[in-house]
Structure 1
Amino acid sequence: MTETALAGASTDPAASRKANRPGRPAAKPHGQWKVDGTEPLNANETWKQEDNGLNVRERIETVYAQQGFESIDGTDLHGRFRWWGLYTQRKQGIDGGKTATLEPHELEDKYFMLRVRIDGGALTTEQLRVIGQISVDFARGSADLTDRQNIQLHWIRVEDVPEIWRRLESVGLSTTEACGDVPRVILGSPVAGIAKDEIIDPTPLIQELSERFIGDPELANLPRKFKTAITGHPSQDVVHEINDVALVGHVHPELGIGYDLWVGGALSTNPMLGKRLGAFVLPEQAADVWLGVTSIFRDYGYRRMRTKARLKFLLADWGVEKFRTVLEDEYLGYKLNDGPAAPKPATPGDHVGIHEQKDGKFYIGATPTAGRLSGAALVSLAELLESNGSYRLRTTPHQKLVVLDVPSENVETLVAELDKLGLSARPSVFRRGTIACTGIEYCKLAIVETKVTAATAIAELETRLADLVESGQLPQALSLHINGCPNSCARIQTADIGLKGMMLPTPDGEPSPGFQVHLGGGLASDNREEAGLGRTVRGLKVYVADLPDYVERVVRRYVADHIEGQTFAQWAHAADEEALQ
């Protein structure tokens, strides 16, 4: 009990009983290091203090890779391995109805998902080739682009991890802190340094943060994961509203170019959009501001309950004014300038299509199917780009790839060849707007399959709604986000149509995989008037097999009912529940 609670406690027995009735527990500390001390308040915090997650690398290299999966300490396996981008993957053949009933060791296989950390999404073709060959040699050809700009591989054996690290690090890549209670990958604009309309290039800042702080033991025990997004592009292309800390480039009317500061965004089962602190960050202040916000999370973040151990909960309790005051007074030692919000984006932030760079060359944004590729395709892509004069590319927060530095004379040839690899620079509305999480194929938390479901839905909708495309009635942008569980890795609350995986009852009593539906969400990078979360309609759930039917039905209803100029999201929030069924 805190000192404040003790001071206010009553000595009256009746009052004491009343205070301790079920549903009204006595006040408990949140586990904030600067308030409650650093004594661990749960098992997770205990093992993090006993041995920093970064230290497990030596054991992986010298013990576990030599002696195999069975030699791995349980706390390392289910905890510290994440600090190096490793999670055990789901055992094949376990249906979604058992996800919540089986113990973790019953769900997991002896193979790992390995997450390659790609800060700012920046890759060379040499790095891409190395990732692709690792996939071919060690991951059964698996390769998924994530909406955090990482590449995930599957079927990894612990015996192969040291060699994988050696290959990655030989080309300047790593898996350091790709998972865990640490600063995760830094999202960055996929067109940083090359876009004609860029406000500020965040590449030097992203590189500085990565070099100074990733792998730093002082920041390797946060309450939970900590996500960063930085952009200098006017499309605000890094989904900044759903990151713990974000810097959005814009021009201050008096101070010139800098960043608007956002904090406290995150989705999962309790979604909250980030808040502007009203502070304008000069470029030379940006690294210190990032460190200050991260340190606030370390020192004041809630550690007692992991369900509350995200920065969004601290911000909700403190409010913007207190958060900014603590940042300035305790961590920066100076006041930040006030600043206005960045202007609303005028273009989508996924960068799909063909665009001229500021140097006269072109960048091409290409879309795979729901982020899925293969190791062989990555190797072929590296060779294709090099043969067309491009040696750089970027991953994006929308499960896309952006190829840089393409000479004008090679653009159409490259577009055609990309298409043969399953990467479309001129995708349909549905292929462009659909993203999907890993799903039940590999994820221990998942309830339904996602990648094949997404691919099937895209193909069906392209055929079924071809008449709306031909007549020009189909919205030019429509996002469909498919998630295998409630945790929202695919950002379901921020999609026009967001789908949360769950088991649904059937007439014969056997549960069947399906989705709860969220409608009308979106972020600035979706070219929305204002960021907002989707609405849920009571009882609106869809079986996986019926998904194309539902999407076709609701899109046709939108086309028939919306008023001129009304987006799908606006219509979905205004429509009667009957229209959304």
Structure 2
Amino acid sequence: MEKLIKVSQERNKKLNKIEQLKQEHSPKEAWEKLEYYAQKGFSSIPEQDLNYFFKCFGVFYRPATPERFMLRVRIPGGRLNYQQAVKIGEVAKKYGNDYIDLTTRMQVELRYIRIEDLPTVLKELESVGITTFQTGVDNFRNIVQDPLDGLSFDNVIETWDILQKLQSIFLKKEEWICKLPRKFNISICGSFSNRCNVYGHDACFVLAEKDGIFGFNVFLGGKVGAVAKPADVFLLGEEVPPFFEALGRVFKKYGFRDSRNKNRLKYMIDAVGMEEIIKAVEIEGGREYQKAGITQTPVQGGDKTGKVQLKDGTFALHMVVPSGIFSGTAMIQAADVSKEFGSGELRLTVEQNLYVVGIPEESIGKALSQPVFQQYKNRHSVFFSDLIACAGTEHCPFGVIPNKPDAIQMAEYLTKQFPHLEGKIRMYWSACQKGCGIHGLGDIGFVGVKFRKDGKPVTGVDIHFGGTITKESEEGRLLIKSVPLEEAKFLVEELIAEYSRLKKDKETFEEFYSRVLSRVSKEAVRFLMRFNRLLKDAGIDARVELNDMVIGCSTEEEEIFGFGFQLYRKLSGKSPYSRNNILEIYDEPKPENLKKLSPDVPNWLSDVVMKMIDKNPERRFKVFTEIDSYIKER
């Protein structure tokens, strides 16, 4: 551990402002004064409590709604029993404008809460066994698991009891409240399906098999913008809590407390290596651990747009909540449906949706006819089922774009354009670069940005693609920068058109990316999206497509030639290079030939096509940026 100790001492010579604040004050002081603040009013709250220590207990001040608070409610594993769901709904209706957000950590956020109501709201939540403790800042956050844990056919190890033991280590314990260098996210999955973004957390315990025994492989260091890496450790179920506690103590003791931007567990691992971290955990815990087994969670969840049969013969009904925007009324209605027709339990998901579970087959029709399902029945499309969007400008001071409305608007537009499309498309939206909408892991990801267009300030998105959640997740690639919001849906439409045209049966977009999109340059994909939109705007009935002449090319020049070949043939009805006779004398593409065959082709397009397929390679476009510049000049 010499390296870890040395690096830790070096990184902690100068503490950041938050660490200095934590030395001068304590979260306990803020908690004990909550009743006092409620009586004296908003103006009585000191800055350190308002902007930091309240967050230790899930109480967030949002300047966008003056003198109102957001409460982040801890929902372990996304499980809500009937009493808990109803209580959350009642509190939202009575104290929070009947508004609820479902989050990507399987939690609930209540908004518009007044300071004078805070103590009452917190007590009401505690009365049904749920709390807001440690859902913000430097704490162990809500633990996520498979939402169908213990229920689905592909669930091998039920993880609920393990999750509760993990939570009992730190929840409401003064030695842990706000004592970590930075926030710490945890996931555990005992299923063959990855329904909880299992690799995107600081500590991930993932179903594995070793020597015929099922347990968990450990992955560490995930965060927004980085996925967890294998720690080469295999744990049995009973070994998970002590390993986690030892890991937490190592992070608390040696974690970096200098730069707030580089204090997550990932940066410890980057600085000293995974082996050093695991050795420290073994020393802290007083035991060694087995080397990793074979990870067993390589696939995504199944079709979530309707019903899922469970092991006991009943069904889970999937309810789509676009961008997680819910209400207290809807929460109570969902709970009532579950109580009347099912097990009385709701399961929240990381996609900001929920399952109503335990519905017998004969009751499915009646359940789906209830108002809450009727309200959302038109949302069952591939563009809504796996849609994620963080808070945005209405509720978050860091937001650059509204986000949730933008995500819904795009999903609605694409649903109209592709009403019968089947498959799976994960569209993840972050309102700013902080990435709370985990855009990097989306099939198509969006992040809010500000930029200038024609000399004027504009808000829009950077578009990413190719994020994965299967096996060891990977971040997607930046595809297009600085797209105005009103244009983004039209560009994405072109990408979805290729998915719709080329997909195999119910192939997911992630599988389509692996099979097709990963074999072409991102510049080619970007060109396809933008150029096809340009053709549509110009009223030209032609488009470039991904075909055998483009897929698998080794250079952009080859891809450009493939696209040009298509365009010439589509515009003229004739191939640009054709054999005249047995002597193999070939016609050559010429601008006048193209214009003669298709006189309506505008000059700029004719020029572009000819420079894409010119017989002389020296005169051809070499890279896609040349085409962009050429078009702009005309």
If the TM-score is normalised by the length of the shorter chain, which range does it land in? 0.7 to 0.9
Shift of 1:147: 0.6
**Counterpart for residue 146 of structure 1:** 103
**Counterpart for residue 79 of structure 2:** 122
Q: Distance in 1 between matches of 2:68 and 2:302?
A: 35
Contact 2:335 2:346 in 1 (8 A): no
**Counterpart for residue 79 of structure 1:** 52
Q: Distance in 2 between matches of 1:360 and 1:265?
A: 36
**Counterpart for residue 10 of structure 1:** none
Which has the larger Rg? Answer: 2
**Counterpart for residue 302 of structure 1:** 256
Give CA deviations for 1:474-531 in whole Å, capped at 9, x if unaligned.
4611111111101111110011110010113232x3312200111111212xxxx762
**Counterpart for residue 32 of structure 2:** 58
Q: Give the 3-state SS of the residue equivalent to 1:435 in structure 2.
A: strand
**Counterpart for residue 161 of structure 1:** 118
**Unmatched tracts of structure 2, length 5 or more:** 531-634
Contact 2:62 2:68 in 1 (8 A): yes
CA distance 1:365–1:112, change in 2 (3 Å): same
Which amino acid counterpart does residue 83 of structure 1 have in structure 2?
A: C
TM-score (norm 2): 0.77
Contact 2:12 2:256 in 1 (8 A): no
Q: Distance in 1 between matches of 2:446 and 2:341?
A: 39
Contact 1:117 1:151 in 2 (8 A): yes
**Unmatched tracts of structure 1, length 5 or more:** 5-28, 93-108
Which amino acid counterpart does residue 198 of structure 1 have in structure 2?
A: N
Specify which of 456, 473, 484 is matched with residue 510 of structure 1.
456
**Counterpart for residue 369 of structure 1:** 322
Shift of 1:463: 0.7
Q: Give the 3-state SS of the residue equivalent to 2:323 in structure 1.
A: coil
Specify which of 275, 290, 305 is matched with residue 337 of structure 1.
290
**Counterpart for residue 135 of structure 1:** 92
**Counterpart for residue 446 of structure 1:** 399
Question: Which structure has the higher relative contact order (CA within 8 Å, separation 6+)?
Answer: 1
CA distance 1:38–1:310, change in 2 (3 Å): closer
Q: What does residue range 181-220 of structure 1 map to in structure 2 within 5 Å?
A: 181-220=138-177
Shift of 1:136: 0.7
Specify which of 249, 265, 270 is matched with residue 222 of structure 2.
265
Contact 2:192 2:298 in 1 (8 A): yes
Q: What does residue range 175-574 of structure 1 map to in structure 2 within 5 Å?
A: 175-220=132-177, 221-254=179-212, 256-267=213-224, 271-328=225-282, 330-348=283-301, 351-417=304-370, 420=373, 422-424=375-377, 427-466=380-419, 469=420, 474=421, 476-507=423-454, 509-524=455-470, 531-537=473-479, 540-559=481-500, 567-570=511-514, 571-574=516-519
Contact 1:505 1:512 in 2 (8 A): yes
Give CA deviations for 1:215-236 in whole Å, capped at 9, x if unaligned.
2122221011100001111113
Q: Distance in 2 between matches of 1:412 and 1:55?
A: 53
Shift of 1:356: 2.2
Shift of 1:543: 1.2
Instruction: Between 374-383 and 169-178, report the one with greater CA deviation.
Output: 374-383
Contact 2:342 2:357 in 1 (8 A): no
Which amino acid counterpart does residue 183 of structure 1 have in structure 2?
A: F
Q: Distance in 2 between matches of 1:163 and 1:36?
A: 45
Shift of 1:38: 7.6
Contact 1:353 1:425 in 2 (8 A): no
Give CA deviations for 1:193-242 in whole Å, capped at 9, x if unaligned.
22222111111111112223212122221011100001111113221221
Q: Give the 3-state SS of the residue equivalent to 1:455 in structure 2.
A: helix
Q: Distance in 1 between matches of 2:499 and 2:32?
A: 57
CA distance 1:204–1:425, change in 2 (3 Å): farther
Q: Distance in 2 between matches of 1:222 and 1:347?
A: 32
Q: Distance in 2 between matches of 1:572 and 1:156?
A: 46
Q: Give the 3-state SS of the residue equivalent to 1:217 in structure 2.
A: coil
CA distance 1:536–1:347, change in 2 (3 Å): closer
Shift of 1:57: 1.5
2:23 maps to 1:49: yes
Q: Distance in 2 between matches of 1:408 and 1:425?
A: 22
Q: Distance in 1 between matches of 2:378 and 2:204?
A: 28
Q: Distance in 2 between matches of 1:514 and 1:37?
A: 37
CA distance 1:522–1:422, change in 2 (3 Å): farther
Contact 1:116 1:152 in 2 (8 A): yes
**Counterpart for residue 95 of structure 1:** none
Q: Deviation above 4 Å: which 4+ runs of structure 1?
A: 36-40, 349-352, 558-566
Which amino acid counterpart does residue 475 of structure 2 have in structure 1?
A: L
Q: Distance in 1 between matches of 2:325 and 2:398?
A: 19
Give CA deviations for 1:290-334 in whole Å, capped at 9, x if unaligned.
111111211121111101110011111222222211111x21211
Which amino acid counterpart does residue 84 of structure 1 have in structure 2?
A: F
Give CA deviations for 1:310-369 in whole Å, capped at 9, x if unaligned.
0011111222222211111x2121111112231353442685531222222222222111
Q: Give the 3-state SS of the residue equivalent to 1:177 in structure 2.
A: coil
Shift of 1:40: 6.6
Q: Distance in 1 between matches of 2:343 and 2:519?
A: 46
Give CA deviations for 1:94-125 in whole Å, capped at 9, x if unaligned.
xxxxxxxxxxxxxxx22111111101111011
Q: Distance in 2 between matches of 1:80 and 1:456?
A: 36
TM-score (norm 1): 0.84
CA distance 1:535–1:475, change in 2 (3 Å): farther
CA distance 1:348–1:166, change in 2 (3 Å): same
Contact 1:240 1:262 in 2 (8 A): no
CA distance 1:426–1:356, change in 2 (3 Å): farther
CA distance 1:54–1:363, change in 2 (3 Å): farther
Q: Distance in 2 between matches of 1:37 and 1:218?
A: 23
Contact 1:236 1:349 in 2 (8 A): no
Which amino acid counterpart does residue 268 of structure 2 have in structure 1?
A: L
Give CA deviations for 1:131-153 in whole Å, capped at 9, x if unaligned.
11111111111101001011111
Q: Give the 3-state SS of the residue equivalent to 1:338 in structure 2.
A: coil
Shift of 1:424: 4.4
Q: Distance in 2 between matches of 1:214 and 1:265?
A: 22
Q: Distance in 1 between matches of 2:166 and 2:476?
A: 33
CA distance 1:559–1:359, change in 2 (3 Å): closer
Contact 2:12 2:258 in 1 (8 A): no
**Counterpart for residue 520 of structure 2:** 575
